[in-house]
Structure 1
Amino acid sequence: MTMPADLETDAARLRETMAKALTEGGVLADPGWRAAVERVPRHRFVPGFYLPADEPDGQGLTVWEPVTAELDHGRWLAAAYSDTTLITQFDGAEPDWKNPQVRHGGAPTSSSTLPSLVVRMWADADVKEGHTALEIGTGTGYSTALACELLGSADVTSIEVDPHRLQQAAGALYACGYTPTLAVADGLYGYWPEATFDRIVAACSFRAVPPALLAQTRPGGKILLTLSGWLYGYARVLLTVGENGTAVGRLLPGTVSFMSARTHAAPAFGNPAHWAAGLPETGRAARHSPQRITAATEEAFHLRFLAQCAAPDAQMTTVGDVVHLVDVVTGSAATLAPTGGRWEVREGGPVKLWERIERVLSAYDEAGRPGPETFTLHFCDGGQHLRHPRLPGLPLPRP
């Protein structure tokens, strides 16, 4: 299909409109980043993507509709310049964009992150002209292009674990005149050939701060990454790197989540009914409802991360009305079921999973329900610890 002759004119107009909206929303306070948003042609980096349909299918699965210029030029261009995350891959399998199919469900494994979050990440990391930067997770290359606009291509390195993703991003970047250093590499290990960096920004999440990133950041440099885990609790942290592999930084406010680094993804745990079958027949009244960490609220988002710190190897799923916790590392399990206006918990194995989480929830309440920005993450002696002046230290998974 031949593109309309006025494509670039329309795209420039939409970029200007998007930049204006982001500025009015307080996202583009820095004129350098606004200029980058106005110049980078996002549509060149997203030739095909998926958008969710208005309604799920009969089984409750999200219906993902493919969007390309050939299928619907207007919808494609409008979405490219909307402040929306565009899913470009599911389950690690590259779509056939010449003949894309509607999808039902699936786990997104690559995307073009919404522009406001992309800019927010670079800005929160205090990236400024003159810095050298490592981006972990090239994705479509749009974020990389923004960094190149501000810093210059020579000072930008971007790595991606998926070779096909990187190949497509490289083609789009080079076609637009950007020439950063690109490499297929696992973000867990950074990229030694270009170290050291002034700033490292990760567009994926990790269970623990990778030591290689600390070693590849100059003292006084900063690392912005998202910590997550198998309960899908998230927290962003901006670390300032010290000497001898140490770092400290505060958690940042907000409810931002990123896909897990593939090496840190949760393992399969089988059938929750099999785990529940080995639990005691009778339980106890739960001191806290599981809804405290599952509700669609900002506090629950924060609490899920704290709960994850207490039980870092636990996973959670809900079957009917019953919440299941499963720990494949220790062989522990727990269920929470609504019974007569309360929740009954049954636990088995060497780790009492819900009891651990309850202790953290109770301590959080007693401390006055402090927000994420009051917590600090300390990385020292090869481990990481979440600390708060009114709460006991919470050890996170070791890197």
Structure 2
Amino acid sequence: MTLIGAAERAAMRGLLDSVNESLGAPPAPVWEAAYWAVPRHAFLPETVWLGDDLAECSREAAPETWLRHAYADTPVVTQVNDGRPAEPEDRWASSSASAPSIVFRMLDMLDVTAGQSVLEIGTGTGWNAGLLAQRLAPERVTTIEVDPELSARAAVRLGSVGLEPRVICGDGAFGYEEGGRYDRVIATCSVRSIPPAWIAQTKPGGVILAPWESPWFCYGLVRLTVDGYGGASGTFSPHSAFMLMRGQRTDLRIYRDVLRDEHVPAESSTRLSPWAVSGDDWAAQFAVGLQLGDVWRTWHDNPDVRGVASRLWLATTDARSWAAVDWDGKRSDRFTVWEHGPRRLWESVEAGYVWWRDAGRPGPERFGLTVTAEGAHVPWLDTSDNPVPDLT
């Protein structure tokens, strides 16, 4: 069993206060009891990566810093580059321990009760599975992780706190059919579509809770109730940004995969600021992303192009259509647009933004999603008979 010393106990109390403040209320007593029985630091690796530059932090070399981040209400990167060696300048986050406040928010939204069974997609460190196992009993929890090393380590860490839920190494998109049909399915990675297996393996009336991502914007949670006929429907809420499920990743780069020398783009102009749809307004980005489907974007500041201070790139995930929106560093009422391919992507962005603005600038909590028995994903506003425009 993991021992909790005075420093760890003080750090745990401080984090619980931060979570209470973030959520506006303490976690339910059953989850607070699980929190004390399943300490977060017992699930973090000896080395974590911190900040935007993913600087290494070793527990052995900097124990106080390591413990402070273990009990901060922030995510902690626990793996880079899918576990492969990488130079500091080439690091990218591939797994993390989620911010504790979102962990408890999602556990509350999952609304589990004694006797229910849960399938977790994305074991990661194992901490979330540990909290569930402590709450429900280990035999009621199945957790699946695609990365063999992370899966093995999580099983060891769970054992160190006296818990042995079923830990499976495999592709979470396929769920775990051998576990029967579950009352709840919870994902700790974001998805762009709900895998059919999750619906098939959930009991009628059961709940699927998953972080949501469109190629345009990673934000929001979707909570679906399974209808028993092969479909599911429910609503979105804000409060999350998770790493994308590995099987749904898009590995595209503008200059490597999209642009070609023979492309001759059409030129136009727009009054819609690119920052209106890819800046600080998360509600706008969420709504536009729901409508655009397979369109992603990236910023290029200070490109080596005369008269261009910033450029917003857009492209479809099949790399067949792209657009660029240029700011000259001076005017804020007109921007130059370049578009190529069978789809006029910026025209779609403008249409999506205007629709959202005219609908009263709704946030994620006014949107919902229906997944049909045939696998179609139909997002809607306020009610399921009011689908959002399909700009794909």
User: TM-score with structure 1 length normalisation?
Assistant: 0.87
Change (3 A) 1:358 1:177: same
The residue that corresponds to 2:324 in the other structure is 335
1:137 maps to what in 2?
122
- How well do the aligned residues superpose, as a CA RMSD in angstroms? 2.5
Does 1:393 pair with 2:379?
no
Determine the C-alpha separation between the residues in 2 that align with 1:72 and 1:94.
23
Q: Which stretch of structure 1 is more off in the superposition, 316-325 or 241-250?
A: 316-325
Change in Cα spacing, 1:267 to 1:63, as seen in structure 2 (3 Å) is closer
For 1:1-399, what aligned pairs fall within 5 Å after superposition? 8-25=5-22, 26=24, 28-52=26-50, 62-93=52-83, 103-104=88-89, 106-254=91-239, 256-271=240-255, 275=259, 280=264, 283-296=267-280, 300-319=281-300, 320=302, 321-329=310-318, 331-339=320-328, 340-341=331-332, 342-380=334-372, 381-388=374-381, 392-395=387-390
- Contact residue 277 and residue 353 of structure 2 kept, 8 A: no
Deviations 1:131-178 (A, max 9, x none): 211111110111111111111111111100000001111111112100
Aligned residues of 1:387 and 1:393 also touching (Cα < 8 A): yes
Deviation per CA, 1:329-375: give whole Å up to 9, x if none. Answer: 26111110124441121212111111112111111111111121111
Instruction: Find the aligned partners of 1:258 and 1:190 in 2 and give their Cα distance.
Output: 19
TM-score by length of 2: 0.88
Where does the alignment leave 5 or more consecutive residues of structure 1 unmatched?
1-5, 54-61, 96-100
How many residues align? The count is: 376
Amino acid across the alignment from 1:388 = L
State which drifts further: 263-272 or 108-117.
263-272
Q: Which runs of 4+ in 1 moved over 6 A?
A: none
Q: Structure 1 residues 307 and 88, CA, compared in 2 at 3 Å: closer, same or farther?
A: same
Shift of 1:271: 0.5
- State whether residues 48 and 88 of structure 1, in contact with CA within 8 Å, keep that contact through their aligned partners in structure 2: no
Cα gap change, 1:273/1:37 in structure 2, threshold over 3 Å: closer, same or farther? closer
1:70 aligned partner, one-letter code: E
Deviations 1:292-343 (A, max 9, x none): 12212xxx22322332233322221222311111225261111101244411
Going from structure 1 to structure 2, the CA distance change for 1:295 and 1:333 (only over 3 Å counts) comes to: same
Query: Is the CA contact (8 Å cut-off) linking 2:123 and 2:144 kept in structure 1?
Result: yes
In structure 2, list runs of 5 or more residues that go unmatched: 303-309
> How far, CA to CA, are the matches of 2:144 and 2:117 in structure 1?
14
C-alpha distance in 2 between matches for 1:392 and 1:199: 26
Residues 266 and 338, structure 2, Cα contact 8 Å, conserved in 1: yes
**What letter corresponds to residue 275 of structure 2 in structure 1?**
Q
| 3-state DSSP of counterpart to 1:131 | coil
Any idea what the Cα deviations from partners look like across 1:17-43, whole Å, max 9, x if unmatched?
322442344353311111111221222
Farther off after superposition, 106-115 or 334-343: 334-343
Q: Which amino acid aligns with 2:289?
A: Q
